[in-house]
Amino acid sequence: MPRIYTSASDPVDFCRECFPDLEDAQETYGLEAEGEGPDDRGDCFAYEAEHPPYDECDYDCEICGERLGDDDD
């Protein structure tokens, strides 16, 4: 947590505070909003997906723009 893969297989990262609940995430990043994944793979939506250690990478929260760190892993 807190990464979501859209149904088009694009990663979206959030701080713990901004991480949406499953229903909101599906509505915003799921099949209806994003369409099917690339290469005829179908719906690639994933909730609470694996991600690299945020303290070692330069990722920002999709919503508030804050840099992600240890507290968000």
For the chain, the structural domain boundaries read 3-72
Q: Where are the alpha helices (DSSP H) in the chain?
A: 22-29, 31-34
Residue pLDDT tens, the chain, 73 long: 689 999 888 999 999 999 999 999 999 998 776 666 666 677 889 999 989 899 898 999 999 999 999 888 8
Q: What is the pLDDT of residue 13?
A: 96
> Taking the model in full, what pTM does it have?
0.83
Phi-psi region of 8 (alpha: psi -120 to 50; beta: other; left: phi over 0): alpha
